[in-house]
A and B are shown apart, each in its own frame.
Chain A
Amino acid sequence: EIVLTQSPATLSLSPGGRATLSCRASQTISTFLAWYQHKLGQPPRLLIYDASKRATGIPARFSGSGSGTDFTLTISSLEPEDAAIYFCQQRGNWPRYTFGQGTKLEIK
């Protein structure tokens, strides 16, 4: 099983700031990684797929990068509504996905 490790567990930043979230895979997965935003009481929302491609309707301040085992989600110009838990999902072993444990982003 491919294990994904996300860091940090929690991130507290101010509006207008820049968030950098990390996801590391236990083995190489090329660019087969997706990122999701999950708010309490709402369904998860696809942000990024294939490591760097933005999903439909996702603002340009969300960007993804990386390949192999190390991936990053960057959120620039943070807004209060960006407060959520962010999960990465490996698709290298599609369709046997695994998810990271999540990074909680707080906007203060």
Chain B
Amino acid sequence: EVQLVESGGDLVKPGGSLRLSCAASGFVFSSYSMNWVRQAPGKGLEWVSFISSRRDRSSSIYYADSVKGRFTISRDNARNSLFLQMDSLRVEDTAVYYCARDRGGAADGTDLWGRGTLVTVSS
């Protein structure tokens, strides 16, 4: 089955760290760019980070301004896994975090999403 399954969400105090994982199955993970997208309670979707596929000579990585310098995206193609290391967490980082596959390019879509993992930042 083609799917993405996130894990690692938890309750953490402000200033703390957390590492999210996303396990991919049913497709050639290394061929796709990947994203993390989050949704805070009662809010819309917010793109967090992007990492390009193996097809590039080196992975291109982008971050939303709201997480730049605090979050680090990475991937392990041998393990079909995507990661998000989150440091210096803030209350406003509280959200459901989705792993999402990108078909690539502006004229395309994010065509596969996981069910999400909840991150709660609170004292």
Contact = CB atoms under 8 A, between A and B. Distances in A.
Contacts of A87: 44-45
A59 interface: no
Interface residues of B, number: 26
B102 interface: yes
Given A42-B115, A43-B116, A95-B102, A50 B44 contact: no
Nearest to B48: A97
A91 B111 CA distance: 13
Contacts, number: 74
Secondary structure of the A side of the interface? loop
Interface in B83-117: 98, 100, 102-103, 105-111, 113-116
Interface string B23-36: 00000000001010
Nearest to B108: A49
B107 A95 contact: no
Contacts of A97: 35, 47, 110
A55 interface: yes
Interface centre among B44, B106, B108, by most chain A C-beta atoms within 10 angstroms, is B106
Contact of A89 (B62, B105, B110): B110
A44 B110 CA distance: 9
A102 B107 CA distance: 21
A94 to B, nearest CB: 4
A102 B106 CA distance: 20
B102 A46 contact: no
B50 interface: yes
B110 A46 contact: yes
Contacts of B98: 43-44
Nearest 3 A/B pairs, CB to CB? A49-B109, A43-B113, A95-B50
Interface of A: 30-32, 34, 36, 38, 41-46, 48-50, 55-56, 87, 89, 91-92, 94-102
